[in-house]
Amino acid sequence: MNLYWEDKIMVKRLTGYLCVVFFTGCATLSQQDCKRGDWFGLGVQDGRSGEASERLSEHRKACSEYGVAVNDSQYFAGREQGIREYCRIDNAFEVGLQGHDYRHVCPPSIDGVFSRYHAAAYAVHRERAELDRIDNELSSKEISLGDNKLNDKDRARIRNDISQLRRNRDRARDDLYYHERQLNEFRHESQSYR
């Protein structure tokens, strides 16, 4: 199978996946979740995930489809507990390294520090993802270079692409090294908050 058909199959699979995510991603809760009515537990879960308080309106909308009302006070009591767990300084690093956004849900007294540490960790996540992307593209180009049906012009173009990708990989490695050093400095600095 040549690369053209492999790419077409991958695009079809990705399109199908995105359609499923789009159509199932609208409702935040199932009918069973709404009828269970564990609003405190749901608040804790959303708080631990760093969800903004606007998430409650999404839950209200989902549950209104099933004729179930949300208990706001229980939800916010749970969310407050979850936010306290989420807003630990060491969690800023974890959330960023996992590639999750920070929605500025922490109290003002910690928001700036949490945001700075999260941004440093998120930069490392982003650089690692970029390196993986470049390595995958480089590998694909190197494999395609072995295709016997290529003419000299196509081979030269692919070799040029490979050279450019190698330069991009070197820059990405340098960027990753810089961000990892910064992250390590922030982790060391964060010891003073414990």
Q: What is the pLDDT along the chain (194 residues), one digit of tens a residue?
A: 444 444 444 444 544 444 433 334 456 899 998 999 899 999 999 999 999 999 999 999 999 999 999 999 999 999 999 999 999 999 999 999 999 999 999 999 999 999 999 999 999 999 999 999 999 999 999 999 888 888 989 999 999 999 999 999 999 999 999 999 999 999 999 988 76
pLDDT at 194: 64
What region does 30 belong to: left with phi over 0, alpha with psi -120 to 50, or beta?
beta
Answer whether 78's CB lies under 8 Å from 44's CB: yes
- In the numeric block, the tokens 């695009």 are attached to 11
Of 100, 91, 93, 99, nearest in space to 127 by CA: 99
